[in-house]
Amino acid sequence: MQQEAASCHMSGAAAEPGAPGAITLEELDSMAEEQSPDAAYHSSSSCNPAAAAEEEEAAAAAEQERLLSYWQSVGRGHQVDVPRDMAEPIQQLTRNNQHQERESIPFTLVHRKEKFGEVLYEKRQYGKAKWACIKMQEEQYEQSICLGFMKLMKYICEQNSSGLYLGMTIPIVTLVHTNESHSEITRSVTVAYYLPELLQEQPPQPYDSDIIIEEWPPTVVYTRSFRGVTNEDSIMREINFLAELLESPELCLQNIFIVAGYTNPAAANRHNEIWFLQRP
């Protein structure tokens, strides 16, 4: 799996390259680097420890405000509110993503179907694992995943019984359901974060009662990659496309699917997968 960031796009519509709303995690990272507290430490006041400490604190506060302002500006354009209490989790996630590898969910590749060098789909085996899950039911799919991920961000960023930053894992997955006619996805979705391997035995408990720690059983999935925005239309398109490619789609569940996100969803050309779950 590619080591890419998962974050939050405030829209159910596609973000065009260069558009004001297309703010990538990499851009946030560079902003944080430019305003690093280290710069204050090496300023002309570094010979005065008290002044250096004040400058470092001021630089950190300015960095936090700048990151929050960017997230809020994106949110206002797409009907999602980014509250002020997200400032610290946003800053923590941005800083830690500069220095830590994102842990990929382990799996065993069972089979890969290719045609003319293109991977049509893969069959994978995922083991039993614990996930932090939150159910959302907003008007638009991307509003649900964005608001759900912000809650999970708080859990990842110290708002848990351990009081520690837990570390980012990829992909962030969303369980979606289709209606009885299999023509559209329903509003109710579950956004889920895979607990890092070191925390699987004893996951820290979330402070947010809406977040539930669940143990998912071993699962075989059929998965296909796709690029771009994830919304109701693109998800249904990818579901139908993968169903046409599979030799025996009836072996999979017919109304529950997973959308896996590997890239910051604010990016214009992000990396996603659609997963079909093989029947138990």
Q: Among all chains, which residue has been given the structure tokens 């302002």?
A: 69
238, two tokens: 């990818």
For residue 111, give every residue at least 6 positions away whose Cβ sits within 8 Å of its Cβ, in sequence order, or none. 122, 123
pLDDT, tens digit (0-9, with 9 covering 90-100), for 134-189: 999 988 888 888 889 889 989 999 899 999 999 999 999 999 999 988 889 999 99
Tens digit of each residue's pLDDT (9 = 90 or more) over 7-35: 443 333 333 333 333 444 444 444 444 44
Q: Does the pLDDT value for residue 57 go beyond 80?
A: no
The helix or strand, by DSSP H or E, that contains position 177, with its residue range, turns out to be strand 172-177
Least confident of 109-118, 135-144, 253-262: 135-144
Model confidence over 64-91: pLDDT tens digits? 888 778 777 766 766 778 778 878 877 7
Task: Assign 3-state DSSP to the chain and report helix, strand, coil percentages, each to 5.
Answer: 35, 30, 40
pLDDT at 77: 61
Instruction: Report the candidate in 19, 228, 221 with the shortest Cα–Cα distance to residue 142.
Output: 228
Bridge-partner residues for 172, per DSSP? 261
**Helix/strand/coil for 2:** coil
Distance CA 89, CA 85 (A): 8
pLDDT in tens, 206-255: 999 999 999 999 999 999 999 988 889 999 999 999 999 999 999 999 99
* Local confidence band at 270 (pLDDT 50, 70, 90 cut-offs): confident
Helix (H) or strand (E) holding 276: strand 271-278
CATH 3.20.80.10 residue ranges of the chain are 104-278
User: Cα angle vertex 173, ends 125, 220, to 5°?
Assistant: 15
pLDDT tens digits for 123-142?
999 999 999 999 999 888 88
And the tokens for 94? 């941005």
| Helix axis angle, 25-34 to 49-77, nearest 10° | 160
**What distance in Å separates the CA atoms of residue 255 and residue 268, rounded to the nearest whole number?**
28
* DSSP sequence for 60-127: HHHHHHHHHHHHHHHHHHTT----GGGHHHHHHHHHHHHHSPPEEPP-EEEEEEEETTEEEEEEEEE-
CATH architecture of the domain covering 104-278: Alpha-Beta Barrel (3.20)
Q: Are 152 and 191 in contact (CB under 8 A)?
A: yes
The half-sphere exposure of 4 on its side-chain side, counting CA atoms within 13 A, is: 19
